[in-house]
């Protein structure tokens, strides 16, 4: 800052004023004079000696007022008409002394004030730079802290998103794996519809199959609902991930700018003026709002992670529950089918036993029928003999044609033979009817046995053959 000398104004009016206190003094002694600075006026009109440096003639000083010599007339007039008194002269000198002292003191005070202002300005500017640097360091620490928090939260969120994606894959595969048991159960019902006659019964196996199909469809719906929740949660987690990545990018950019600003000093390159930049305020938030926004983003991410963890836990529990229910229904249906097959096998064995007995009975009845026919045929000889005897006795002459005991006995014999033949014909008729009944029974037993054999083939070969292995992937753990 350049040093400025203070100038004292010269009041020219002091030289032209009229002395009103001394009215007897004339005003003719006053002249208009020109003040010539000493630097322009030669102090001596005589040159110095070149060898000794002393003057040859005594010094003669010029008139400091007019700059020219006065003659005697003028001097007498000046002596006669004096402008100032000694007291005024003394007062004027004292005034000049005091004015010089005051000006020097003022100048010294101004110089000291200027130096103090310079030092204070330097100290304040340096303190302001240090304070700004300290605040920049604090800001860098704050931004670094939240940047590290966001990085950590982003890593945890990415891991959670990866685990949730695996959970979604497990759910999708579980839904696909349910199609196998469902198709098998429906195929079993379709095969069991091929049963015929009385074997087409709504038994416990069919009830278990229908219940299994309903259970599988319910499990599939529950897994679909859980899968939709998982997809929604994945979208929410990816939205939080996008916010974290955007905030991390902004914080890294701001951190780079603040670190560059923190490294700047008065001797850095590229410094320049930006007029009016201190009046421009582009800030969009306060420091508290900034920290609260970063904290809010992290808390939202933590909330989404917690929701994702709960959803994964519930999904794993649901998968285990679905697997257990599927296994239970599968086992119950297999047990019902096994029990039904054993019942059919037992019924088949009993039918075969009864069929064998009926077959043997039919053989015995047929044998008895042949014996009865032969017996009836044999009785014809006896009745012929009786008829021949009775007809021969009809030819006795006269009184010899007597109703004796022989005639009565022959009549009784013929009646008894007819009666026994009728009984035998009646028994033969009953045997023939029973034979027909036995044949019908055998036909019914054979038909029912064929139905049993067909039902056993359907349940044991077709249905149980489809259900020998549990068609579920290893994702279902028991």
Separation of alpha carbons 337 and 459, rounded Å: 7
Q: What residues does 55 pair with on adjacent strands?
A: 48
**Largest Cα span, the chain:** 254
CATH number of 128-267+284-343: 1.20.1260.80
Which DSSP symbol is given to 24? T
pTM: 0.65
Separation of alpha carbons 455 and 450, rounded Å: 9
Comparison of pLDDT for 15 and 60, the residue scoring more: 60
Separation of alpha carbons 397 and 158, rounded Å: 140
Q: Poorest-confidence range of 61-75, 369-383, 439-453, 462-476?
A: 61-75
Write down the pLDDT at residue 235: 95
List of residues 6+ apart from 65 with CB closer than 8 A: 33
**Residue-averaged pLDDT of the chain:** 82
Q: Residue 334, Cβ neighbours under 10 Å: how many?
A: 18
Give the residue among 23, 60, 54, 24 at the shortest CA–CA distance from 42: 60
Is the separation of the CB atoms in 379 and 417 below 8 Å?
yes
Average pLDDT over every residue of 45-67:
47
**13 pLDDT more than 50:** no
Is the separation of the CB atoms in 223 and 167 below 8 Å?
no
**264 pLDDT more than 70:** yes
> Which range scores top for mean pLDDT: 35-44, 101-110, 162-171?
162-171
Is the separation of the CB atoms in 327 and 203 below 8 Å?
no
Q: How far apart are the first and last CA of the chain?
A: 90
Q: Poorest-confidence range of 63-77, 90-104, 127-141?
A: 63-77
Whole-Å CA distances, 181 to 190, 220, 463: 14, 11, 12
Whole-Å CA distances, 234 to 247, 367, 400, 413: 20, 87, 132, 111
Q: Residue 322, Cβ neighbours under 10 Å: how many?
A: 25
Is the separation of the CB atoms in 428 and 369 below 8 Å?
yes
pLDDT category of residue 44 using cuts at 50, 70 and 90: very low
pLDDT in tens, 111-167: 888 898 889 888 888 888 889 889 889 989 999 999 999 999 999 999 999 999 999
Q: What residues does 48 pair with on adjacent strands?
A: 55
pLDDT category of residue 82 using cuts at 50, 70 and 90: low
DSSP secondary structure of 184-244: HHHHHHHHHTT--GGG----HHHHHHHHHHHHHHHHHHHHHHHHHHHHHHHHHHHHHHHHH
Write down the pLDDT at residue 31: 45
Separation of alpha carbons 477 and 328, rounded Å: 13
Write down the pLDDT at residue 48: 44
Is the separation of the CB atoms in 445 and 355 below 8 Å?
yes
Separation of alpha carbons 117 and 127, rounded Å: 15
**15 pLDDT more than 80:** no
Tokens describing residue 165: 């994606």
pLDDT in tens, 313-332: 999 999 989 988 888 888 89
Average pLDDT over every residue of 236-251:
93
Average pLDDT over every residue of 187-210:
89
Helix axes 405-456, 287-393, angle to 10 degrees: 160
Separation of alpha carbons 269 and 266, rounded Å: 9
**29 pLDDT more than 50:** no
Average pLDDT over every residue of 352-371:
92
Write down the pLDDT at residue 237: 94
Comparison of pLDDT for 331 and 18, the residue scoring more: 331
pLDDT in tens, 275-302: 887 787 777 777 788 889 989 999 999 9
Domain boundaries, the chain: 128-267+284-343, 356-393+405-469
**86 pLDDT more than 60:** yes
pLDDT in tens, 385-415: 988 988 888 888 887 888 888 888 888 988 9
Average pLDDT over every residue of 80-91:
74
Q: What are phi and psi of 347, to 5 degrees?
A: -65, -40
């Amino acid at each position: 800052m350049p040093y400025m000398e203070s100038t004292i104004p010269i009041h020219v009016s002091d030289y032209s004023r009229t002395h009103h206190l001394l009215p007897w003094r004339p005003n003719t002694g006053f002249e208009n004079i020109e003040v010539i600075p000493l630097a322009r006026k030669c102090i001596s009109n005589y040159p110095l000696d070149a060898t000794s440096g002393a003057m040859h003639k005594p010094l003669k000083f010029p008139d400091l007022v007019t700059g020219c010599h006065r003659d005697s007339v003028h001097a007498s007039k000046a002596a006669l008409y004096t402008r100032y008194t000694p007291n005024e002269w003394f007062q004027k000198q004292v005034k000049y002394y005091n004015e010089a002292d005051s000006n020097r003191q003022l100048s010294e005070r101004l110089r000291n004030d200027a130096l103090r202002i310079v030092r204070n300005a330097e100290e304040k500017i340096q303190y302001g730079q240090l304070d700004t640097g300290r605040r920049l360091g604090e800001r860098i620490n704050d931004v670094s802290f939240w940047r590290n928090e966001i990085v950590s939260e982003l890593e945890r969120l990415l891991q959670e998103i990866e685990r949730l994606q695996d959970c979604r894959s497990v759910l999708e595969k579980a839904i696909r794996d349910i199609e196998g048991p469902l198709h098998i159960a429906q195929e079993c019902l379709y095969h069991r519809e091929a049963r015929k006659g009385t074997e087409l019964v709504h038994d416990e196996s069919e009830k278990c199959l229908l219940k299994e199909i309903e259970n599988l469809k319910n499990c599939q719906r529950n897994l679909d609902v859980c899968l939709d929740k998982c997809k929604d949660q994945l979208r929410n987690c990816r939205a939080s991930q996008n916010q974290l990545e955007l905030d991390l990018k902004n914080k890294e950019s701001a951190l780079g700018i603040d670190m560059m600003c923190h490294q700047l000093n008065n001797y850095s390159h590229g410094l320049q003026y930006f007029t009016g930049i201190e009046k421009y305020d582009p800030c969009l938030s306060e420091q508290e709002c900034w920290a609260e926004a970063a904290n809010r983003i992290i808390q939202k991410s933590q909330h989404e992670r917690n929701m994702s963890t709960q959803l994964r836990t519930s999904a794993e529990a649901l998968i285990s529950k679905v697997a257990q229910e599927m296994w239970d229904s599968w086992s119950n249906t297999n047990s019902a089918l096994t029990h039904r097959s054993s019942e059919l096998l037992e019924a088949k064995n009993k039918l075969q036993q009864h069929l064998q007995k009926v077959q043997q009975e039919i053989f015995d009845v047929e044998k008895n029928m042949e014996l009865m026919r032969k017996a009836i045929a044999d009785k014809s000889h006896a009745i012929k003999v009786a008829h021949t005897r009775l007809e021969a006795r009809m030819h006795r002459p006269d009184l010899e044609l007597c109703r004796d005991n022989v005639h009565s006995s022959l009549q009784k014999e013929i009646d008894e033979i007819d009666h026994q033949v009728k009984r035998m014909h009646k028994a033969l008729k009953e045997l023939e009817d029973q034979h027909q009944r036995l044949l019908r029974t055998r036909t019914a037993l054979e038909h029912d046995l064929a139905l049993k054999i067909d039902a056993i083939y359907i349940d044991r070969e077709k249905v149980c053959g489809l259900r020998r292995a549990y068609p579920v992937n290893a994702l279902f753990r028991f």
